Structure 1
Amino acid sequence: MRARLALAYAGIEVEHREIVLRNKPQSLLLASPKGTVPVLSMAGLVLEQSKDIMFWALEKSDPEGWMEVDQARAQSWLERNDGPFKALLDQYKYPGRNPELDQDEVLHAAIELMLKPIDDALQHSRYLLGNNISWIDAAVFPFIRQFSMVNLDRFKMLPFAHLQQWLREWIDTDLFAVVMKKYPAWID
């Protein structure tokens, strides 16, 4: 989702191919033998990571200055999100894969690692790095949204009003509506 957010924000049109990972088309495997998504394949360029696609798109076009932030602070958020928080998200979202884990402990760890720090940051500014939206908001938002949707009622009960407002604002954007368009599965 964050790759699609950056591409749409930057105004870069691409041919979107929705992939069913249990039935990977040959064209995906030819472009990227890893067979993971997302993949941006264009004129000999192949990017296989959503953050790389984001940066590529923002280098091409950044109309509202998403990249004009403290990059060290942004990278710190990204590392926390893409590393330990992503692992906790997977444990929380797919409890059957790790039945030995207590879901309350996973939730508590996610709160301490990411949810509370985001809420704390948002108490002082509208977005993670200030009062202007930045690429790190777009990079983190999809993961927080996924986490919230595992148990939306429970998430809404958490004492993080700023985080929940930030999430609602993202969900209500035209940009989010555009990238959430459903596509039929691509078949070679």
Structure 2
Amino acid sequence: MGNALRRDRSGTPRVPSWRPVLPILYSFRRCPYAIRARLALCQADVAVALREVVLSNKPAAMLAASAAGTVPVLQLPSGEVIAQSLDIMRWALGQQDADGWLARGDTAGQRALIDTCDGAFKHALDRYKYAERHPERSAHAWRDDAVACLIAPLEAQLSATAHLGGEQPGLADAAIFPFVRQFAAVDAAWWAASPWTATRRWHDRWATSALMATCMHKFAPWQPGASVTVFPP
């Protein structure tokens, strides 16, 4: 567990005799990569010092930790920096995974789905969402690409099981959901009337879950010298 602070199942922090040094998470509330990392931290109930970032004014401390300037970034008390969202998810669940998210949701097949989500689907999603910046094709054409590469395969899987790893959620569900959430929000009326019934049902379960509500808690942007904001709240 290292220096991360755990809570027990009653919600009471397990406070050691020494003062814990929390990992620092640089995050942006609406970023799907940051959402997936925070979902895993919430699920594992591993506390971090959250620093909400304004992307137009990235803090020097974050850039010193990761020159890429993207979120999320997790800086461990040892000085190690984890700058990939999936690696943060696996780190968090490696500390505590009582519900078996890693065993159930990190198989080769599900990793392939995540790769598609982060690759071809994200490419099409960005162009569907910001179609005016990509006039070489219509928004509907980009949407069709997104459906073909990910939404249709999700529908096939979720028509058979409630979640991607079976009847209980796993890492792949939490990794992919934030991007489907973003896709659904581009044209909510179209999404609500779309034929992807099982995927919409899966999306809605995640969107209305207590875990997601905790994950999306609003925090003021971090300023150097500010008091520590512990996440999950």
Superposition TM-score tier, normalisation by shorter sequence? over 0.9
What is the CA–CA distance in structure 1 between the aligned matches of 2:44 and 2:161, rounded to whole Å? 24
In the alignment, what sits opposite 1:183? 219
Q: Percent identity?
A: 39
What is the CA–CA distance in structure 2 between the aligned matches of 1:75 and 1:111, rounded to whole Å? 18
What is the CA–CA distance in structure 1 between the aligned matches of 2:76 and 2:103, rounded to whole Å? 26
2:80 counterpart of 1:45: yes
Secondary structure of 1:58 counterpart: helix
- Cα deviation code 1:75-118 (max 9, x no counterpart): 11111111110111111111122122211111111111111111
Secondary structure of 2:75 counterpart: strand
In the alignment, what sits opposite 2:57? 23
What is the CA–CA distance in structure 2 between the aligned matches of 1:108 and 1:95, rounded to whole Å? 13
Q: How does the TM-score come out when normalised to structure 2?
A: 0.78
In the alignment, what sits opposite 1:171? 207
- Where structure 1 has 5 or more consecutive residues not aligned to the other structure, the ranges are none
Q: Higher helix proportion, which one?
A: 1
Q: How does the TM-score come out when normalised to structure 1?
A: 0.96
In the alignment, what sits opposite 1:100? 136
2:38 counterpart of 1:4: yes
Q: Which structure is higher in RCO with an 8 Å CA cutoff and minimum separation 6?
A: 1
In the alignment, what sits opposite 1:33? 67
Secondary structure of 1:14 counterpart: strand
Q: For the pair shown, which has the larger CA radius of gyration, 1 or 2? A: 2
- The structural deviation recorded for 1:119 is 1.1
Q: In 1, are the aligned partners of 2:44 and 2:97 still within 8 Å (CA)? A: yes
- Where structure 2 has 5 or more consecutive residues not aligned to the other structure, the ranges are 1-34, 225-233
Q: Which moved more, 1:143-152 or 1:99-108?
A: 99-108
In the alignment, what sits opposite 1:68? 103
Q: Which moved more, 1:69-78 or 1:85-94?
A: 69-78
Q: Over aligned residue pairs, what C-alpha RMSD do you find?
A: 1.1
Size of the aligned set, in residue pairs, is 188
What is the CA–CA distance in structure 2 between the aligned matches of 1:18 and 1:120, rounded to whole Å? 37
Q: In 1, are the aligned partners of 2:128 and 2:140 still within 8 Å (CA)? A: no
